[in-house]
Amino acid sequence: MSSNTVARRCAMFFFVLTVVVAATRFVTETRAAGAFAVGKCGAYGQAYDFPGEAAARAAAKKQCKGECTTMTMKRSCAAMAVDFANPCGAYGYAVKPKISNSLNAATRECYKSGGKECVIRAWACDAKG
């Protein structure tokens, strides 16, 4: 086998590999819409890796019982914290790029709204969050 043939095969292999990696990234990015819905008394709904924001918001809202606030999470994470002593009282939520940041921010929001023993009720991450 000549060195030209080996070089062509290597070049073709790397070209195909590049196309596969690019296609995988495209599929992940197009399915990167999520939503998180929160309401009183610990009600929540979540949807992740949907093809569009509207579909994700509708799916999250459908899961949440009662009057719920819906937020979009695109390549990020959302979390909800409730007051353990009074689940129908104070609560907080947050959407941040990393799960640890969203958990901390949701807990802080719960305390800010008057919670005494705030705990995480639910969390979700959308593609790469």
Domain ranges (residues) in the chain: 1-29, 31-125
pLDDT for the residue 32: 62
pLDDT in tens, 67-89: 999 998 888 899 999 999 998 99
| Phi, psi dihedrals of residue 122, rounded to the nearest 5° | -155, 155
pLDDT for the residue 23: 41
DSSP string of 27-96, one letter each residue = HHHHT-EEEEEEEGGG-EEEEEEESSHHHHHHHHHHHS-SSEEEEEESSSEEEEEEETT-TTS-EEEEEE
Say whether 55 sits in a helix, a strand or coil.
Answer: helix
Tracing tokens 């695109």 back to the chain, one arrives at: 74
CA distance 33 to 48: 6
Low-confidence stretches of the chain (pLDDT beneath 70): 1-32, 128-129
pLDDT for the residue 3: 63
pLDDT for the residue 8: 61
pLDDT for the residue 111: 97
